[in-house]
Structure 1
Amino acid sequence: MRNRVQRLALPLSATVTAVVVAGCGTGGSAGGAGGKSVTMGITDKVTAVDPAAGYDVGSWIVFNNVFQSLLSFPKGATKPEPEAAESCKFTDEASKTFDCTLRGGLKFSNGEALTSEDVKFSFERTIKINDENGPAVLLDSIKTIDTPSPERVVFHLKYS
């Protein structure tokens, strides 16, 4: 049971850690919507607006509506599906290497392209901040992160 939970830690954290592609979208102009806003009502308390610092229901309702993740769980699903990632999979028999290819055309709100270096930075930032109220504990299984190309990010895990 412990190995299964540990093995699922990276895909789960990839889903939960919306810090990966904050402000990303596909294509479009370099600017925002120009004065348009979204109004949303929730009853849960929002404790953080930084995904590296919040791991509570209220904050995650906001994160899920503002940020994009590598993977996500569709409503009612038990298996994560690619979101910002085109694909993600374990590439070794020990399930210690998790390789993700990013979807093409993803851009930050300032128009800059999303790269694997941005993904790496976001995960490492969350780990470094290590906020006691944040999701860093879910990333404990990550040993190192490589970026062999602008569209590929590879997570090397401490254990499977």
Structure 2
Amino acid sequence: MAPPSGAGESWKRNVLLAVSALVVAVTAAAIAMAVAGASSGGPVGPSSLTAAAVSLHVFNVEGGCRSREDHVPACSMGLARDPRKKYDADNVVDHRIWHNDVLVADCVFYGGDRVADETGVGTSRWFRVRLNDVPGGYAWMPAVRTHDSPVLPRCSR
């Protein structure tokens, strides 16, 4: 005896709905875990850092430095070793940056040392940038040194 007309289509539709519901549930759970991890201030694992890495363009507020194509020391800017410590010569890595340099950032830290640019615009937000030529492989750039405002996970420190 043959199944009633439309029974095969109904079974296929039910399987399709069940598979779709499972895909939606798994995707929602993955997104919720990623958002919770990024906003908790907890440690950020290496895989999420790799996925979150973005380019930042260095901005120098001094017009005379923005128009230069050469890298004169007077127009260079420093990157901090630790964003929580005072931003001074004792807390700056050897690597220098200039206007229009492109750095790779993997997370953002709020509540660091407050830094102001030459016009008085200040911030306590810092980007962790990757560098091959400094101990530990990274340094910290204050947000006043870029006009970019990427969405990044919070750094664990």
**TM-score > 0.5 by shorter chain:** no
Q: Per residue, is there more helix in 1 or in 2?
A: 2
| TM-score, scaled relative to structure 1 | 0.23
| TM-score, scaled relative to structure 2 | 0.23
Question: Which structure is richer in relative contact order (CA contacts within 8 A, separation 6 or more)?
Answer: 1
Greater Rg, structure 1 or structure 2? Answer: 2
